[in-house]
Structure 1
Amino acid sequence: MKIWRYSAKDAFMPLLSMAQLTAMVLMAMKWEHMPLAGRVGCLALLIFMMTYNIIVITHLFTHTPWFQEQTMNSVASMLNSINIGQSAEAYKLMHVRNHHRYNNDQPGPNGDTNDLSSTYREGVNGEHATLGRYAFGGAGSSLVDIGRALLSVNRLWRVGETEHELLGVAAKSPAKRASELRQIQLDRMAQFAGVAVFFVLSWKWMLFCYVPAFYIVLALVNIQNYYEHYGATPESRYADSVSYYGRLYNLLTFNDGYHQEHHLRPQAHWSTVPRVRSEHRDALNQVQRVVSPVPAIVGYLHRNRPKLHQHPLTPADLQNYKEKQSGLAATGNDR
């Protein structure tokens, strides 16, 4: 019987997810007896685990589900939902069918973006929204929406009639649509059960560790997305995203840094994304695009990043930029 849909290499990710859930249970159990230093350490570890899960584990799962059997993928979705504090299926639908369809577009004639997570959505005069508003304001809005979904006990955690954005990206085929909405319901039920168990184990851990950590995690994920697109050219197929080619980072994150390549072929398995870069190397080299010297989550350290969405670089500017980045980019060269 075939277990893995794409590759046995994916076995690392469900193991990491189970390890995270185990760690969270242990944190809640031990919280009451921890010294202050231990509690601070738990907060930092929880932030890291949840951020990593959203950015890497669940993100990859939404594009390339791990298992051949749909039932196993359904269970994995529920596990991930507990770990990331939201429905993994809902995240999948919004990310795959909205973000990857519109690719961080700029406002259209109606003054709004089609990509609901676009960094331009609340910007002014064709600019990106400010980082603070996008990251921390967006995290606050997400926290409220997730809280409402979590507490939708009255409708047994079904997708509500007022959740227009989510209903808008669900499949049109009745059978597939019902399956997707059912998975969201299962995810939310699992998430609620997880939160209930954590609360019973230690309400203080929930209040003073989990909730603050979750808000910070949502902000960090927004920062990640912000710098995966900041300065890029939304209308260019080969320059609408920002990649980072550092070898160690990509080894530890299953090639998360290859973001431009990921947008070129979202359905590609993480192990083949460097091959996508090789296949499109000529086209990628012929356009002006942003290649970051640092991972997106610390993209604010990339001080002199070109803003290609404002105006094309001159040949002199482009050459100067390439010379500045060549040393760092070479460390991640996969030729």
Structure 2
Amino acid sequence: QIHNAYFSLPWLNRAFDLLLSVTIGFSQTLYRDIHNRHHRGNSDRPGADGTTVDPLSIYLHGRNGQPDNVWAYTFLSFFRDDPKAIYQEMQRKRPADARWVKVEIGMTVLVYVALALYDWHALLVLLPFWYLGQSLSSLNGYYEHLGGNPDLPIAWGVSSYSWLYNLIWMNNGYHAEHHYRPKMHWTRVKAFHREIREQQQAAGVKVIPLAHGLGFLLKHPKR
């Protein structure tokens, strides 16, 4: 429910966004805007003002034009994230979405407050796994772009064609293809890869043999 809506009825999409918000502990509508901004910048390097279009760029906190340290990016991104500017832009351009963000956040807070009142031990156990889940997402995202070319659309992402990874993660390994055609349904990216394989090879698209989340097990030459 990021690039393409699941349902034709708007209220069903709103309801599903609300369910996802409670499940992940963060506004799904706001996350959609963050993710779309990620696709606008494609892990770009900082400009003259030191900022990036992509708030999730692996270069944002790096030095001398190099990517951030993988473990700093993995474990500190949770604390570095500041969605305020993206929310303010949403307020200006899509006020209805901004209002729904408040509903999602409010409902999520109510659910977790109710959980704490019912059994605070449950919330205490949940919190570290919530943080570690966010960290795992950052780790995965890091290797989806380490070695990608922010200046070349066909090479914006890094792909992994591990059959098991793509089987259980619904072709998430085809990340270069996803960034090149973000609205393409996940069931079509394999065929799309076959169509553009020679172009990708000519452009130097990086491919790793393991799932992105295991990228730290590999050696990655600097570009």
TM-score normalized by the length of structure 2: 0.93
1:239 aligns with 2:155: yes
Tell me the equivalent position of 1:217. Answer: 133
* Residues in 1 aligned to 2:19 and 2:185: alpha-carbon distance in whole angstroms: 21
Q: Which amino acid aligns with 1:193?
A: L
Question: Which stretches of structure 1, 4 residues or more, deviate above 3 A after TM superposition?
Answer: none
Tell me the equivalent position of 1:272. Answer: 188
Q: Which of 13, 28, 36 lines up with 1:88 in the alignment?
A: 28
Tell me the equivalent position of 2:102. Answer: 185
Tell me the equivalent position of 2:58. Answer: 119
Of residues 75-84 and 269-278 in structure 1, the stretch that sits farther from structure 2 once superposed is 269-278
* Residues in 2 aligned to 1:205 and 1:247: alpha-carbon distance in whole angstroms: 36
- The aligned length equals 223
Q: Which has the larger radius of gyration?
A: 1
Structure 2 matches for 1:1-335, cutoff 5 A? 61-96=1-36, 98-142=37-81, 163-168=84-89, 170=90, 173=93, 177-207=94-124, 209-303=125-219, 305-307=220-222, 310=223
5+ unaligned residues in a row in structure 2: which ranges? none
* Residues in 2 aligned to 1:257 and 1:206: alpha-carbon distance in whole angstroms: 33
Residue 101 of structure 2 aligns to a residue whose secondary structure is: helix
Determine if contact 1:94/1:166 at 8 Å carries over to the other structure: no
Which deviations, in whole Å up to 9, do the C-alpha atoms of 1:279-304 show, x marking residues without a partner?
Answer: 3223112121210111111110122x
Query: CA shift at 1:119, angstroms?
Result: 0.4
Tell me the equivalent position of 1:48. Answer: none
* Residues in 2 aligned to 1:113 and 1:119: alpha-carbon distance in whole angstroms: 10
Residue 156 of structure 2 aligns to a residue whose secondary structure is: coil
* Residues in 2 aligned to 1:67 and 1:196: alpha-carbon distance in whole angstroms: 30
Which deviations, in whole Å up to 9, do the C-alpha atoms of 1:154-210 show, x marking residues without a partner?
Answer: xxxxxxxxx223222x2865xxx1221122122112211221232133101101x11
